[in-house]
Structure 1
Amino acid sequence: MKIKEYRTQFITSLSPIHGEDEAESFFYLILEQKQQLKRIDLALQPDLVLSQDEIVIWNALLDQLKLEIPVQYLLGKTSFYGLDFEVNENVLIPRSETEELVEWIIEVQKLNNNSPLRILDIGTGSGCIAISLAKNIPNAQVYAVDVSEKALATAKKNAALNTVDVTFIHQNILETDDLLQEFDVIVSNPPYVRNLEKVEIKKNVLDNEPHLALFVEDTDALIFYKKIAELGLKNLAPNGLLFFEINQYLGKEMIGLLQNLNFKNIELRKDIYGNDRMTKSNI
C-alpha cells in the first residue's frame, strides 16, 4: 500500500477520537520515527510504499492510539527544547509550557553573563528541565532531585543521551529539612493538579501518566511550593532565584505564599495559552 493511501486511512480512523489535526501530527511523528521520512519526503515521493511487515507495525500503533495511549510513550521518545528525551510510564511527557520556563531561566542567566552557578531542579521526572539547562547554560553545575527511582533511571539515560553532566539525587523533598549546600537557582515543576481538576484532564493523560507527578490534595494544593520555598530560604545563595511552574488557577495564591515568606521581586508570567503558569522570585 502506498504511504499516502495509508495516511488517509490512519487519519480518518483516529479523527473521531483525537481530532483531525492531532491525528495528522501522530501520523507524521510515526513516519519520522519508524520510516525515517519527513512530510516533505512524502510530498516529493508520493508513490512510496509500505511493506506488509511495516503495515503490521503501523496498525499495532494505530490500535493503541485508539485506546488513547500517548504517542510519545508508544514511540518511547519526545522532543523538548530542541533535545531528544526518552519517555515512559514512569515520567510525565514534557509540555511546551515547561519549555517556556526553561527559556525564562536561560534568558535571566544570559543577562548575568552566564556567570558560574549551581542549579537545582526539584521533581525532575524525565530530567527535561535540568538537562536543557545544563545543555544551554555554560559553567552551570546542575543537580536534580526526584522521589521516584524509576524516574531518575530515565533521567540518567536522558542526560547520557544529550551528553550533559547532571548530578541526580533520590530524595523525598517533603521529608527534607535542608539541602546541605547553596544554590544560585532552584527550579521546580512539582505536582500541582488538584483532584477536583481531574475532570479537565484528557483521558490519555489520566489513564497513562504517573499520578504521583501530577496530583495534589484539594485541601493542600500548594504543599510542594511551600516546602520548596522554605528550603529556598535556607539554601539559596544571596540574590538566589526561585522559579516555579504553577497551577494556572492558583496564581494569586502563589504570589501570596511567596510574599508571606518574604520573597522579593515576585513575577508571575502567563504561558503561550494565556494562563498563569510561571513565577520567579528571589530572597
Structure 2
Amino acid sequence: MTIAPSFRIDPTEFSGKRVFVTGGTKGAGAAIMRRLKAAGAQTATSARNAPESAEDADLVIRADLATPDGVAAAADAVTARFGTLDILIHCLGGSSTPGGGFTAATEAFWQQELNLNLLAAVRLDRLLAPPMIERGTGVILHVASIQRRLPLHESTIAYAAAKAALASYSKSLSKELGPKGVRVNTVSPGWIMTTAAEHMVQRLAESGGTDEATARQGIMAALGGIPIGRPAWPEEVAELVAFLASDRAASIHGAEYVIDGGTIPTV
C-alpha cells in the first residue's frame, strides 16, 4: 500500500474564512479540517462524543446531528462563535446496517441512515444557509458517495439510497441558491481508506462468517474493482474539497465531482 500523500498548501488561501465541517473529527472529515486550517481558515466541527483534544478545530461542538435538536444546538453554537459562515461542508455520514440484504435493513436502520446521511444536511442548511443568502456569498459542499450509483445491496442499501437523495437535494439547492450568490456542489468519493471503512469490513466478515481479507475482496468485487488499485486517501479527498471551496472554483456550481480511482465504469 502506498503512503498517504502530502501537498504544498498556501497558508493564506482561506485566511478569515469561517468554516463548519460536519463529521470533522475522523476520516475524510478530519483530513478536510486539517487542510483548511493549514490554509488559514477558522474551523468548527461537531461530534456526538466530542474528543478532549481536537487540534484541527477552533471549535468542537458536542451534538448528535442525526437529530433535529442536535442540529439546532450545533447551528446555535457555530453562529454564536463565528456569526455567518463562509463555507459549510457536510462530511457526516456512514452506515451501521448489518449485512444480509434488504431484509436486514429494518425500519429503525432505515430511519437511522436517512437521519445521518440526508436529513442532517437538509436541517443544517435550513438554519445556516439563510445568513449566507443575506450576505450574497457562501459555499456549501455535500459529501455524497459513488454508492448512489453503485449501491452495495448486501450491506449498505439504506446508506446508498440516502446518499442518492443527498445528491439530488444538492442539485435542487444549487438551482435555488446560485442566483443568490451561494455556490453548492457535491463530492462523491469511492472507497476511502478510513477507520470507518475498516469497521464495515469487520462487520461484513462477522455477518458472513469469513475473514476480513475475504470481506475486503468482496467489497472490491461488488464495486467492480478500482483501476488505480487502491482506495483513496482522506488527504486526496480533502484536496478536492479545498479546491471546490476556494475562489479558484468560483464558476463551479451545481456539479458533482467523483473521486473513486476510476471505480465507476461508465461516462
TM-score for both structures, normalised by structure 1: 0.42
More strand by share: 1
Ranked by relative contact order (alpha carbons within 8 Å, sequence separation 6 or more), the top structure is 2
